[in-house]
Homo-oligomer: A and B are copies of this chain.
Amino acid sequence: MSIIMFNKSAILSILLVFIPLSIASEYLEWGASITFITAGLAIVPLAAFMGQATEEIAVVVGPNLGGLLNATFGNATELILALVALNEGLIGVVKATITGSIVGNLLLVMGFAMLLGGLRYKEQKFQSLAANVNASLMNLAVIAILLPTAVQYTSSGIEEQTLQNLSVAVAVVLILVYGLTLLFSMKTHAYLYEVGIAAEDESAEEDGANVNLTKWITILLLVTLGVAIESELLVNSLEEATSSLGLTALFTGVILLPIIGNAAEHATAVTVAMKNKMDLSLSVAVGSSLQIALFVAPVLVIAGWLLGQPMDLDFNPFELVAVAVAVLITNSISSDGRSNWLEGTLLLATYAVIGLAFYFHPVVEGLG
């Protein structure tokens, strides 16, 4: 166990070297592809440290404020990356990152967790009631993306302003629902999530006794700065780099960027699944998707409205199909509160099929 931990830390430390490399590549003009790759690799350890710092601070400030902190900044890397892209007017990249984060967390992270956990344990169980509430929340998220897209496709010409007004109104509903979900899971029905919380506390205690609050806040601020900087390098080099690598911007946004932003969460979800803590593993994977769908995406819609960028919930229909399909199969697999290696394989196979479809998809409509 400690060997794995050491290895994980070691890998993250080594990846830090890409921070100076990416900055050097930008200013010495080594080319967009090299800037893109080095900045992408540099974000991985920064995202991990950001997550760790948030958790450490959460332990000190207590479960309520800490839970809120985790719930708000748990996907800070994706949020910063998306805000930078939004500010540059790369609406398509922002939407693709949202799509990819949801799809990647549900299929890739949960798939590996169920597969690797299932290879060790014949059958793994988790709270089906919490899974049921999460399934309904994910369905609401799909509906919230589906309806504005459907409004556009079923009307003969709609003004962008109307679509953005609708999206802002829907975003407010989603943020309210997210807030009520926190109230539900932390206060009124916390017992449904007890298993997960207990396990989380335990793992927190393992790593982080005698926490130094000031230290972690300083680290959080520094790391946040690092992510902002690297996000800008990544976003600025995105278009040139992807075209020179022969990839579409859609594929990059939906498949590559989310893998970079969620690498640390992948590791956590898989590690705890292999310890048979499926509740915690699923809460990392599904919780992260819910946070993207019910908090990050609505915040970006409202931010786009404030920044004067035409950010709305009218997604590329193929992205919508991908999210709907990911939610469908995840809900189908998690509905009975049990998992096995074949179900993990099914999630990964769905991810593979979606990835192939995005790879072969010829259109970059609305991207960039």
Q: Which residues of A contact B (CB under 8 A)?
A: 122, 128-129, 132-133, 135-137, 139-140, 143-144, 146-148, 150-151, 153-159, 162-163, 165-166, 169-170, 173-174, 176-177, 180-181, 184, 188-189, 316-318, 321, 325, 328-329, 331-333, 335-336, 338, 340-343, 345-346, 349-350, 352-354, 356-357, 360-363, 365
B154 with A332: CB separation less than 8 A: no
Give A178 Cβ to nearest chain B Cβ, in Å.
Answer: 10
A341, B151: Cα distance in complex, Å: 29
Q: Hey, which chain B residues are within 8 Å of A329, CB to CB?
A: 136, 139-140, 143
Q: Give CA–CA (A71, B158) in the complex, Å.
A: 42
Give Cα A333 to B132, complex, Å: 7
Would you give 28 A-B contacts (Cβ < 8 Å), ordered by A? A122-B189, A129-B338, A132-B333, A133-B342, A133-B343, A136-B329, A136-B333, A139-B328, A139-B329, A139-B332, A140-B346, A140-B349, A143-B350, A144-B353, A147-B357, A150-B318, A153-B317, A155-B363, A155-B365, A159-B362, A162-B360, A166-B356, A173-B356, A174-B349, A177-B349, A184-B341, A184-B342, A189-B342
A156 contact from B174, B177, B365, Cβ within 8 A: B365
